[in-house]
Structure 1
Amino acid sequence: MMAAWSDRVGRTGRFLWSGWSGLAALSLLAALWQFGHEVYGDFILPAPLDTVRAMGTILADPASWDIAVLTSRRAVEGFLVSALAGAALGLAAGYSPATMRAARPLVTVLLGVPPIAWIVLAMIWFGSSDGTVVVTILIASSPLVFVGVAEGVMTRDRSLDDMARAFGAGPVRRLTTLGLRHVAVHLFPALAISLGTAFKVAVMAELLANVGGIGGELARARANLDVAGALGWVMISVAALIAFEYGIVHPVRAEFERWRAAAQPWGVKR
């Protein structure tokens, strides 16, 4: 038990330490942002510090937290539904080549239709409600998860399946100990992209469907020509995305991919 906890603490420490590279990338983005501000001026692109101040002013109002939570809830609900549906269908298609061949044109069609078109259709079907946001996220995100899971299943090492079968492992045992661990390598990058898509589509759907949330606040900022306020709400949306991705998706991924660090001493990668 102590060894397991020590291993988990070590992985957490490495994960937190790797955040320095992320902060360096964000600092580079802020420098480019400041350069754009100095070139184009406040009306086109407010300074990063002015945007941070606008973000602080927004968050000083308790009602703004409710708005951010509303958008985050819709995005996460759509993400969970799309992740479950895409993963289940991807597993089924990966183990059935005929199903995969039939599904590929459908995935191409779903990915080829822009999300804004699905938003318009969802508004007609569900009106101005949460269903519009969730359904649009489902259609836009689930094909990404589907493709990742299906490709993971199709590229698995079948000789390992044969070896496990020779040692008496049944289909469920082989799936949980071999198949899912290999699929996870393809699944979690798809989940990260799907989560980002969920937040983007949620804000877009809120703006067009007029159902409140951060999208509604962006519409209000556009009407008032409040560029700093609009960027402040965008930063709040991105902060929520980062919190969910690095607070939930990546820790779960670390648990599934413990085998990657099995032969690596502390801080050394081969």
Structure 2
Amino acid sequence: MTASTSGPDAAAGLRDRLGRAGLFLWSGWSGLAALALIAAGWQAGHEAYGDFILPAPLAVLRRALAILAAPDNIALALQTGRRAAEGLALSVGIGTLGGVIAGYAPAILRMMRPFLTVLLGVPPIAWIVLAMIWFGNGDGTVRLTVLVAATPVVLAGAAEGIVTRDRGLDMMAQAFGAGPLRRFLTLGLRQLGAHFFPALVLALATAFKVAVMAELLANAGGIGGELAEARSNFDIEGALAWVLIGVSLLIATEYGLVQPVRAELDRWRAAARPWGVKR
């Protein structure tokens, strides 16, 4: 009996998963439309100010493709992505753990708020200078700067998600005998996503921006190092091409990794929406 029902259940689960993947891919049209609007505004700026101030988007795209044709340049872009990902992974681990603890303990949350204000108030360039003194012109400088810049955002998002959870559902689960860990995994963790994933997207963008900034100021290679070289040569087209490469890497990371995981974890929200209502 179990074997006969497992097949249809697995097929239904596979169809449901494929359907969600199709909807996620179809929703990409709105993102492509936004990119088209950005390109149109960019082209208008190019026609108004000329190549020296703002090269044409197609010319920058061709330059970016020419840059990526060299394996060494691909390695430089991936180096920046690796540094940003390593710093972000540390900030997500520390920020999520601290945010969950603070969300369940209001006294700790009140103590953390001045700490978050101090971290957010110090500009990233100050941390870059300190990291250069401590770690030199290497990976440690980039990782530390990303860690300090992204952790407060993740921590605040995780804490807010726990604080604003539906305590009625938590009490109901407790009445049915669910322990603290099970309540967190089945209820708290899912409700956490409403605030955590927007904070994670912001932290991801911050990680890439800060990583490039740290590489540029510390002369640590990667995309930032190439931007520094383009600045010294007054190569505006080359600088914009490297910016385009960095932004493309960021978009690929967000929509290839973060957003699919968010869509998978947030599928329970679809049951609470009326038919035909879209986000």
Same-fold call, TM cutoff 0.5: yes
Residue 5 of structure 1 and its aligned partner are, at CA, apart by 1.1
Structure 2 CA distance for aligned equivalents of residues 269 and 74 of structure 1:
36
Unmatched tracts of structure 2, length 5 or more:
1-9
Query: Is 1:62–2:71 an aligned residue pair?
Result: yes
Query: Is 1:36–2:45 an aligned residue pair?
Result: yes
Structure 2 CA distance for aligned equivalents of residues 199 and 20 of structure 1:
24
Alignment equivalent of 1:74, drawn from 74, 83, 96: 83
- What amino acid does structure 1 have at the position aligned with 2:54? L
- Corresponding residue of 1:261: 270
Structure 2 CA distance for aligned equivalents of residues 66 and 122 of structure 1:
24
Q: Deviations over 1:72-128 (max 9, x none)?
A: 000111111111110000000011111000100110110011111110011111111
- What amino acid does structure 2 have at the position aligned with 1:255? E
Unmatched tracts of structure 1, length 5 or more:
none
Structure 2 CA distance for aligned equivalents of residues 45 and 198 of structure 1:
26
Query: How many residue pairs align between the two structures?
Result: 270
Q: Decide which moves more: 157-166 or 192-201.
A: 157-166
Query: Is 1:20–2:29 an aligned residue pair?
Result: yes
Alignment of 1:82-121 (within 5 A): 82-121=91-130
- Corresponding residue of 2:133: 124
CA 1:108–1:263: 2 relative to 1, 3 Å: closer
- Corresponding residue of 1:10: 19
TM-score (norm 2): 0.94
CA 1:12–1:266: 2 relative to 1, 3 Å: farther
Residue 264 of structure 1 and its aligned partner are, at CA, apart by 5.6
Residue 261 of structure 1 and its aligned partner are, at CA, apart by 1.8
Structure 2 CA distance for aligned equivalents of residues 201 and 37 of structure 1:
27
CA 1:263–1:4: 2 relative to 1, 3 Å: farther
Instruction: Give secondary structure in 1 for the equivalent of 2:48.
Output: helix
CA 1:88–1:54: 2 relative to 1, 3 Å: same
- Corresponding residue of 1:169: 178
Structure 1 CA distance for aligned equivalents of residues 139 and 121 of structure 2:
24
Instruction: Give secondary structure in 2 for the equivalent of 1:42.
Output: coil
Structure 1 CA distance for aligned equivalents of residues 39 and 95 of structure 2:
35
Structure 2 CA distance for aligned equivalents of residues 267 and 232 of structure 1:
41
Structure 2 CA distance for aligned equivalents of residues 95 and 253 of structure 1:
23
Residue 129 of structure 1 and its aligned partner are, at CA, apart by 1.1
Structure 2 CA distance for aligned equivalents of residues 2 and 126 of structure 1:
53
Alignment of 1:203-214 (within 5 A): 203-214=212-223
- Is the Cα–Cα contact under 8 Å of residues 188 and 253 in structure 1 kept in the other structure? yes
Residue 263 of structure 1 and its aligned partner are, at CA, apart by 5.1
Structure 2 CA distance for aligned equivalents of residues 213 and 39 of structure 1:
32
User: Once superposed, what is the RMSD of the aligned Cα atoms?
Assistant: 1.3
Structure 2 CA distance for aligned equivalents of residues 55 and 154 of structure 1:
45
Alignment equivalent of 2:59, drawn from 50, 57, 68: 50
Q: Deviations over 1:211-252 (max 9, x none)?
A: 100000000001111100000000000010011100100111
Alignment of 1:164-243 (within 5 A): 164-243=173-252
Residue 268 of structure 1 and its aligned partner are, at CA, apart by 4.7
TM-score (norm 1): 0.97
